[in-house]
Amino acid sequence: MGMVSQESGVNFDLLITRVIALLQIVGASSASIAMLPQIWHAQPTFVSACICLVMYLIFSLSIISGIWMWYEEARGYRLSVLVQSLQVPVFSLLGITYKFVFGFGILLKILGGGGLLTIEIGGHSYLFLSSEITNAQCGMNLVALFALAFVWRKFRNCD
């Protein structure tokens, strides 16, 4: 049984589960839609096609795990651990840029210039290779880190 408020009778575990599930579903859906114009205007290469396939696989996993989590199925928590783990790191190093934010993110920059904290709403995804990327930036998504800890605990408590 999840944590229930004595005064209001609200099951906070269920509420947090549903919020994370909704963020995964809506965030991955919006990220996949936002990526369509980029695909349409991109120069088709084998590498870009592989990157798109990987990204849409991650979007699909996020949506599926969100649906399963909504119904509190153990497999949803298991898959959400993977989805949240993919959202925690944010970096741009040696020609590679990587960032996945599904729904809501508070990004803490650990290395690199610019602002220390960035708040992002909606689905954002970047995974690309370019020799033009020369600056080094590294950080983490604090919302995904919290969600990872929460779904890990829920997954470990599932029978």
Greater pLDDT, 32 or 61? 61
Phi and psi dihedrals of 101, rounded to 5?
-130, 115
Which range, 17-31, 32-46, 107-121, is most confident? 17-31
Residue 5 confidence (pLDDT): 59
Amino acid at 19: V
Confidence class of residue 3 from pLDDT cuts 50, 70 and 90?
A: low
CA-to-CA separations, 59 to 29, 54, 62, 84, 128, in angstroms, rounded:
7, 9, 5, 12, 16
pLDDT in tens, 34-80: 888 777 777 778 877 888 888 899 999 999 999 999 999 999 999 99
Q: Are 33 and 64 in contact (CB under 8 A)?
A: no
Q: What is the mean pLDDT of residues 1-19?
A: 79
Residue 136 CB partners (closer than 8 Å, separation 6+): 92, 93, 94, 111, 112
Domain residue ranges in the chain:
12-157
pLDDT tens sequence across 126-149? 776 676 766 788 899 999 999 999
Nearest to 53 by CA among 69, 35, 67, 68: 35
**Bridge partners, 137 (sequence order):** 92
**With contact defined as beta carbons under 8 Å apart, do 107 and 91 qualify?**
no
Answer yes or no: is pLDDT of 23 > 90.
Answer: yes
Task: Copy the structure tokens of residue 118.
Answer: 């960035």
Q: How much is the pLDDT for 37?
A: 78
So what's the pLDDT on residue 76? 96
Residue 24 pLDDT: 94
Mean pLDDT across 93-122: 81
Mean pLDDT of 146-156: 94
Residue 113 has pLDDT above 80, yes or no: no
The residue assigned the tokens 């575990």 is 13
